[in-house]
Amino acid sequence: MDNFLLVFILVLLYVLLLFIIRKLGLGSKKSCVNCNNCCPDCNLPLNRIKRLYKDQILHRITFGVFDFKRYTCNECGWEGLRWERKYTQKNN
């Protein structure tokens, strides 16, 4: 099998996997009764914090399909990335 064709198929499968994850909503923001962005552990509001360098790398690796933002919970200490379900493309 040709190496170019193999790489092309792998990249195509990777992009397809990204869109399947997006469609399933894995890692997206969680809404609850009292806020639009709740902690996945304790269901209390999350607070935005500054992104890390590895978050910027993840954004590039996923081709910007997910607009990851880093959040933390003041109550239970959870920290992680979340993204919104609606897709907005930024013009840079």
Q: Which residue has the tokens 């790489």?
A: 7
Strands 47-48 and 79-82: unpaired
For the CA atoms of the chain, what is the radius of gyration?
A: 16
Q: Per-residue pLDDT tens for 5-54? A: 999 999 999 999 999 998 998 888 888 887 888 988 888 899 999 999 99
Question: Helix (H, G, I), strand (E, B), or coil: what is residue 43?
Answer: coil
Cα 12 from Cα 19, distance rounded (Å): 11
Helix (H) or strand (E) holding 53: helix 53-61
pTM for the complete prediction?
0.77
Instruction: Give the pLDDT confidence score for residue 60 in this predicted structure.
Output: 92
Instruction: Give the pLDDT confidence score for residue 90 in this predicted structure.
Output: 60
Position 71 pLDDT exceeds 70: yes
Distances (CA, A) of 15 to 32, 49, 63, 75: 30, 28, 9, 36
Q: Per-residue pLDDT tens for 18-27? A: 999 989 988 8
